[in-house]
Chain A
Amino acid sequence: MMKPERPVGIVGYGAYIPRFRIAAREIARIWDGAGGTPVDSKSVPGPDEDTITMSIEAARNALARARIAPDRLSAVWVGSESPPYSVKPSGTLVAEALGATPWVSAADWEFACKAGSEALTAAMGMVGSGMAQYVLAIGADTAQGRPGDALEYTAAAGAAALLVGPAAEAVAVIEGTTSYVTDTPDFFRRADTAYPVHGHRFTGEPAYFNTLRSAAERLLRDLGAKPSDFTYAVFHQPNTRFPQTVARQLGFTPQQIATGLLSPKIGNAYSAAALLGLCAILDVAKPGDTIFVATYGSGAGSDAYALRVTEALPERRGRAPLTAAYLARETFVDYAVYAKRRGKLVME
């Protein structure tokens, strides 16, 4: 287990989910009407939205909750697999929009669906060492799936921002983290192609389940804790079934994961997926509640965290829109609008 010498926690948090949705059955109507769908619907970014714009809104919500002036941030880090530019950091533009520039570290992190939690772990180190007082770790994605591919049912959009600071100021103290990483070819995209591919032999048990379980079990063991010690749990959610299954394998109950399980309604928000679930939990958790978080990124790795909610949370959460407010803004689009918005129509 990793834990900084100086205790750290989440001082502010912010969610963002675009208003548009497409129903999974609408995708099935076009490609394959048979069988079930992995989620009910997924979020779709608006025509003027991308990883940068969603990061900005989630980050503003985190700063509003913490009431921290943006120029006090020591770092603004964006974890994503869908940066708008291949070369030109998202972090600089987000930092500029927040008003955190110029005396700030800004960078982009990359690790499939766990790029955001990479930034979170690094933020723990930066604050925990005393190098920084406040670091903003963001996970944001506008994920793409090849038309007709199984991934198209779930590849979604969203952002979550976690403002890491001293434990004494936190709404939730981070009690420890583990990171489990191997080189696993379960899912990848080459630089010049639009859509990723699955390494089907590896997807599932060797990748998601084994990796996430390894990080989670090690954290539980090092903490001397058991699943029933936690009020809530949230896992990376590429669909509905995977997080439900890994929760059961680890010994968490459906009740523990219910609050943070957003994938049935918004799909897989990639780098934001587990972190948005954490935001939804922080929206309702009470002081003293405990939260278990495990992310997953293809390639493959998992970061697990144990958090304890403090007395500061109830007052701070009302200062920005709750995750539920974004979930409630549901405007459904059909496949034609979705295809146009997501650049799936070839114009020339």
Chain B
Amino acid sequence: MDLAKHWRLRHARYRLEGQRNRLTGEVRFPPAPPRPGEAEDVWEPYVLSGRGRVYSFSVVRQPPEGFEDQPPYLVALVRLDEGPMVTAQLTDCDLEQAAIDMPVEMVTRRLRDLGPTGLIVYGYKFRPIVQSGNH
């Protein structure tokens, strides 16, 4: 059931937690071990804002195994405000609504259901921004 794999990714998936370099301020996602020669603690956990723009996208009509009940659905490359690019599904977004450069925000949704005796996998998706009260 890959329980350990899903558990290990929970911070990155649930809350878009990446890393920030204590020395340079660089932000990266997903989190990774230090590069050769880097101090063990040079990369600290850093929760990204979740705001970004669609860099590119595609409509999935022939889904991979485990996603059979979802098509058609949108998969996008999202350029996050902090710099990193992530691949994720777009949600709450009609197929004809998706556009390059569309501002999006991260939401935590169900990614997969591993069946009645399995885990429900949660993680980040992106959607068109729901404006705050100020707007």
Residues of chain A having any CB pair with chain B under 8 Å: 19, 46-50, 52-53, 56-57, 64, 84-85, 93, 96-99, 283, 317-322, 325-326, 329, 331
Contacts and interface: CB of A to CB of B under 8 A. Distances in A.
Nearest to B112: A48
A19 B92 contact: yes
Contacts of B69: 47
Interface string B4-23: 00000011001101000000
Contact of B133 (A49, A53, A57, A319): A319
B132 interface: yes
B109 interface: yes
Given A46-B91, A53-B109, A96 B133 contact: no
Contacts of B130: 321, 325-326, 329
Given A46-B92, A53-B109, A322-B132, 4 more contacts: A96-B10, A96-B14, A97-B14, A325-B130
Given A93-B14, A97-B15, A52 B133 contact: no
Contact of B15 (A64, A99, A329): A99
B107 interface: yes
Contacts of B62: none
Nearest to A20: B92
Which applies to chain B's interface (DSSP): helix, strand, loop or mixed?
mixed
Which 7 residue pairs spanning A and B have beta carbons closest together? A318-B133, A97-B14, A48-B109, A318-B134, A48-B110, A322-B133, A321-B130
Given A19-B92, A325-B130, A53 B10 contact: no
B108 A320 contact: no
Nearest to A321: B130
A318 B125 CA distance: 24
B24 interface: no
Given A321-B131, A325-B131, A47 B70 contact: yes
B11 A96 contact: yes
A322 B135 CA distance: 10
Contacts, number: 70
B120 interface: yes
B132 A320 contact: yes
A103 B49 CA distance: 23
Most A C-beta atoms less than 10 A away, residue of B11, B92, B94:
B92
Contact of A53 (B94, B122, B134): B122
B91 A48 contact: yes
A320 B133 contact: yes
Contact of B125 (A48, A64, A322, A329): A48
Contacts of A52: 120, 122
A50 to B, nearest CB: 6
B111 interface: yes
Contacts of B94: 331
B77 interface: no
Nearest to A61: B132
Contacts of A96: 10-11, 14-15
B105 to A, nearest CB: 10
B133 A321 contact: yes
A138 to B, nearest CB: 14
B59 interface: no
B85 interface: no
A152 B132 CA distance: 32
Contact of A97 (B70, B92, B122, B133): B122
Contacts of A57: 107-108
29 contacts: A46-B91, A46-B92, A47-B69, A47-B110, A48-B89, A48-B109, A48-B125, A49-B110, A52-B120, A53-B107, A53-B108, A53-B110, A56-B107, A97-B15, A97-B108, A98-B15, A99-B15, A283-B133, A318-B134, A319-B133, A320-B132, A320-B133, A321-B130, A322-B132, A325-B131, A325-B133, A329-B92, A329-B130, A331-B94
Contact of A321 (B11, B108, B132): B132
A46 B130 CA distance: 16
A317 B110 CA distance: 28
A326 B92 CA distance: 12
